[in-house]
Structure 1
Amino acid sequence: MTRETKLNDPARAGDPAPGLPAVEFRTVSKRYGAVAAVDRIGFTIERGTLVTLLGPSGCGKTTTLRLIAGLELASEGRILIDGEDVTHRSAAERDVSMVFQSYALFPHMSVMDNVCYGLRASGIKQARAEAMAAEKLAAVGLSGFERRLPSELSGGQQQRVAVARAIVLEPKVLLFDEPLSNLDAKLRRRVREDIRGLQQALGLTVVYVTHDQEEALAVSDRIVVMHSARIVQDGTPRDLYERPANRFIADFIGNANLLPVTVQRQDGAMARVALGGATLQLPHRDLPAGAFEIAVRPQAIRLRAGGPQPGELGGVIRKAAYLGSHMEYQVELMEIGTEAFVIDGDVGTPLAPGTAVGVAITADGAALVPADEAA
């Protein structure tokens, strides 16, 4: 069924079979000559969830989004939307909508005309199109802005017009391509909250692309992390932050300190782990006795002025920076010959460079990762 048919006769649209994912990739590749932009990836996206494709520039996340949209066609594998194979269908036949990085609003059209554009192109009569557009503008908090031009709106308001224009078509999947990259830091936070709120309130299925780890952690039900054209971990924000699958994930998400350790033995679900002269009890993650690394979050390191006490490492403050709500330190860990990045909420009694400190690591901010695994 085409989008035009669905919009003109909603009763004929039907509901997809229960239990089918909104999007499914089955061993999908996209190649440009000998170069693989996406290499044999597979994942599913459940209806009503927001899933973020996250990774550094060139990892394949935007190509994956374009494969969902039909703006690129797969070289291998199958792509299903609501259980229907759309691998070889055009973008117009896939019933998805995209919100672009630049918003792509028509500058000479009013807000109402921008939101109505896709409806009118689908053959919807003007009166009905405007009623449908007004409903979606109300949903994004822009009632009363219908006759304004895009140039008369803030960046955040323009973003919401772009969202209204996309959701008025009632797509099966809504796609966001780096939607906040043109906004300043404060507005980025507000608009990402707006997007997440709308997604949850309207039960939208959203695929969201970003390279910003904090943004991904804030908005996502699940995060699919990509690197070198492949998926390296797929899980909830908490899974990725607290249980990184490898060194790349640990280093990419949350500024982890990667420190050398020795797994001494397993005891049930836990392992006894030696870090210099200190020991930790951590989930063993199926790692045997031997040399590995732990990923330690900056907030999980506690500093105390003076020499190390039992269970602590000895360190020296090398750099200190005041950031208003917290201090950031670079601490040389003398015993293991490396530095650690530390975030400390105590801004009242900062530690000066050159201060000797005892360094303690809280186990709930540390996770074992294989020392020799590369993503």
Structure 2
Amino acid sequence: MTHHPTAVPSGTPASAIRRPAVEFRAVTKRYGSFTAVTDVSFAIETGTLVTLLGPSGCGKTTTLRMIAGLEQTSTGQILIGGEDVTTRSAAERDVSMVFQSYALFPHMSILDNVAYGLVVGGMAKKQAEEAARAKLELVGLAGLEKRLPSELSGGQQQRVAVARAIVLEPRVLLFDEPLSNLDAKMRRRVREDIRQLQQSLKLTVVYVTHDQEEALAVSDRIIVMAGGKIAQDGAPRDLYERPASRFIADFIGDANIVPAALAGRDGALGRIAVGAASLTLPHRDLADGPVELAVRPHAIRLAEPGEAGGVPGRILYAAYLGDHMEYEVAVSLAGRDVTLFARSADVDHPRAIGDAVSVGFAPQGVTVIPG
């Protein structure tokens, strides 16, 4: 197999060469007349955890499977560690995948499951078992080596799948919706385990999920996909606080899309009118006139009716969730009836359905949507 490493200027010292762990160059994947992924390009740095995020059918799983070699590209190039692997089989790519179903052998002990790939690869069984024990200890499963998968909880089975993948010491570790079979509390715990393991071992991880909270919690960087293309690529905070489009604002976390007006600017900041309320926010290079805002639920302030600078509203829905209240509030903005979703930490003085309120907006949690 001919390798095609990324070109490096002559005379560059080997220590200065830092190739991306994974690189897509204008990759497209078609299934007959259907295009699942369209002209996608990105590079993933070694030692980082990058999440492919998006709704069902956006192309994220197809992209992951192309990295793994389980799907072939229609056009474009895939490089791993600077080497062109576009036409290589899955076995030739030096990657390991943790599947949604865990794919553990039910008749094998935990130790044999983890050692399996090494034994098949030609390693002596005793040596493979030593390596497997070390990885099981690393994921917190020391002492459970003789158990069968059916004797473990879902979270423990997920850790076995991770141990089996990392014992091969792959260049890239791939996760396909790894937490979808776990309950909410276990999902939180296992995602923390995965993140801690990735950081401590400096693993390069590509992680697929449709869960925005999960992506925000584990990622160094998130690539949001929609319709087979990259909708936005950036750090979790950038995507949440500076969405590049209405789709991103609506998809990453809860957001109210609110009509407003940009009425002048001072440097990078603009004066934003939201009904009777006024905010000062980065204008993001938009022209004066109608704009849309992404308003996070925690940025909505509910006060007594008639408060100066507030927007008149009425409570449509109220729910107590232990540490906070959730409300739906009817308001009129820019001649339109709008229903706002709001969260309030004030659980001691809940508002009732039908109550009149004054709606204000905290600048932290509000952003102008470009485009």
TM-score band (shorter)? over 0.9
Match of 1:142 in 2: 141
Q: Secondary structure at the match of 2:135?
A: helix
Give CA-to-partner distance per residue, 1:179-202, whole Å, 9 cap, x none: 001111111111111111111111
Deviation of the 1:20 alpha carbon: 0.9
Match of 1:341 in 2: 341
Match of 2:112 in 1: 113
* Whole-angstrom distance in 1 between the partners of 2:239 and 2:51: 12
Match of 2:291 in 1: 292
Deviation of the 1:290 alpha carbon: 1.7
* Whole-angstrom distance in 1 between the partners of 2:192 and 2:15: 29
Deviation of the 1:99 alpha carbon: 0.2
Match of 2:362 in 1: 362
- Does structure 1 conserve the Cα–Cα contact (< 8 Å) formed by 2:259 and 2:333? no
Q: Secondary structure at the match of 1:364?
A: coil
- Does structure 2 conserve the Cα–Cα contact (< 8 Å) formed by 1:305 and 1:351? no
Q: Secondary structure at the match of 2:114?
A: helix
Deviation of the 1:120 alpha carbon: 0.4
* Whole-angstrom distance in 1 between the partners of 2:200 and 2:253: 29
Q: Could you tell which deviates more after superposition, 98-107 or 131-140?
A: 131-140
Show the 5 A alignment for 1:87-102.
Answer: 87-102=86-101
Match of 2:322 in 1: 324
* Whole-angstrom distance in 2 between the partners of 1:185 and 1:49: 25
* Whole-angstrom distance in 2 between the partners of 1:329 and 1:74: 47
Structure 2 unaligned regions, length at least 5: 2-13
- Does structure 2 conserve the Cα–Cα contact (< 8 Å) formed by 1:305 and 1:355? no
- Does structure 2 conserve the Cα–Cα contact (< 8 Å) formed by 1:316 and 1:334? no
Q: Secondary structure at the match of 1:334?
A: strand
Match of 2:27 in 1: 28
* Residue among 296, 311, 314 paired with 1:313: 311
Deviation of the 1:127 alpha carbon: 1.1
Match of 2:205 in 1: 206
Give CA-to-partner distance per residue, 1:140-195, whole Å, 9 cap, x none: 01111111100110100000000000000000000000000111111111111111
Give CA-to-partner distance per residue, 1:272-306, whole Å, 9 cap, x none: 11111211111111111121100000001111122
* Whole-angstrom distance in 1 between the partners of 2:207 and 2:60: 10
Letter paired with 1:352: A
Deviation of the 1:335 alpha carbon: 4.5
Letter paired with 1:344: S
Deviation of the 1:16 alpha carbon: 9.1
- Does structure 2 conserve the Cα–Cα contact (< 8 Å) formed by 1:314 and 1:335? no
Cα 1:126–1:102 change in 2 (3 A) is same
Deviation of the 1:266 alpha carbon: 2.1
Give CA-to-partner distance per residue, 1:103-151, whole Å, 9 cap, x none: 0000000000000100001000011101111111111011111111001
* Whole-angstrom distance in 2 between the partners of 1:155 and 1:81: 31
Show the 5 A alignment for 1:167-206.
Answer: 167-206=166-205
Cα 1:33–1:103 change in 2 (3 A) is same
Give CA-to-partner distance per residue, 1:65-95, whole Å, 9 cap, x none: 0000000011111111111011111100000
* Whole-angstrom distance in 1 between the partners of 2:228 and 2:54: 10
Q: Secondary structure at the match of 1:171?
A: coil
Cα 1:188–1:367 change in 2 (3 A) is same
* Whole-angstrom distance in 2 between the partners of 1:47 and 1:16: 14
Q: Secondary structure at the match of 1:249?
A: helix
Q: Secondary structure at the match of 2:224?
A: strand
- Does structure 1 conserve the Cα–Cα contact (< 8 Å) formed by 2:274 and 2:333? no
- Does structure 2 conserve the Cα–Cα contact (< 8 Å) formed by 1:16 and 1:82? no
User: Aligned-residue CA RMSD in angstroms?
Assistant: 1.3
Match of 1:156 in 2: 155
Give CA-to-partner distance per residue, 1:240-268, whole Å, 9 cap, x none: 11000100000111110000111112210
* Whole-angstrom distance in 2 between the partners of 1:365 and 1:188: 26
Cα 1:62–1:246 change in 2 (3 A) is same
Q: Secondary structure at the match of 2:253?
A: coil
TM-score normalised over the length of structure 2: 0.94
Give CA-to-partner distance per residue, 1:15-45, whole Å, 9 cap, x none: 9974211001111000011211000011111
Count of residue correspondences: 357
Cα 1:179–1:16 change in 2 (3 A) is farther
* Whole-angstrom distance in 1 between the partners of 2:282 and 2:21: 34
Moved over 4 A (4+): none
Match of 2:4 in 1: none
Deviation of the 1:310 alpha carbon: 2.2
* Whole-angstrom distance in 2 between the partners of 1:85 and 1:334: 56
* Whole-angstrom distance in 2 between the partners of 1:94 and 1:83: 12
Match of 1:4 in 2: none
* Whole-angstrom distance in 2 between the partners of 1:290 and 1:229: 33
* Whole-angstrom distance in 2 between the partners of 1:64 and 1:20: 20
Match of 1:7 in 2: none
- Does structure 2 conserve the Cα–Cα contact (< 8 Å) formed by 1:53 and 1:61? yes
Letter paired with 2:247: F
- Does structure 1 conserve the Cα–Cα contact (< 8 Å) formed by 2:52 and 2:60? yes
Letter paired with 2:302: L
